[in-house]
Structure 1
């Protein structure tokens, strides 16, 4: 919208000749014919829509992070169950095999050390999966930080 500088003439406002040639431009819609109640209603509706959209974005982000967490926890639980059964059967087989070659106490110690190494590796993998989870909805926090600027009339967020 283009707003011309008021024309010269009698009265309190009398700009110089250069001022009458300048135009002020705005990127805002013409609200000259809109009532104050309608403007407040539009702002209220827009804020309500914005908050609903931000809430939906936050829910989507949290759902995505919960899904990652569930997959990591499922992998850890599966590794734990599988590890238990493997530990139980292979330990018995290895112990029985080693006890034919050496003293039973040394055979049991070797089997225990072997499974301690495997448990450590499973722990490292599970911890790495859990560290990939970001419980804070990053995009929502970022867009919500732009809301105060938008209410002031700035469109680009922080400068």
Structure 2
């Protein structure tokens, strides 16, 4: 037999001839192992990301609490600063309050516009549907 000829079925040892069922069983087992490995990898990556997210969330909570308690002091300081420029104290606080209300309205409008742009994950849905269709055609 030369190097370019393919071995015939009777030339191949019996133990290396495997049935289609055995090949399918091995492929299924290998696919299952691959999927489990991918899931374990995803779990380990997610676990690391969760730890980082928890640390970041803690820092944001502390920063938010500090800003929350500083906000009234800064508001009063701004109002008294405007009063020091010669405006009455009532008008100074009204200006500060009005500025905050205007900012709140603008942020609210921005939030509404942002929520209107939220759409379902079209690429993920399409990819999942294609995968399901492919798997149905294979089976």
TM interval, short-chain normalised: 0.3 to 0.5
Q: Which has the higher helix share?
A: 2
| Normalised TM-score (structure 2) | 0.46
Specify which structure has the bigger relative contact order, considering alpha-carbon pairs within 8 angstroms and separated by 6 or more residues: 1
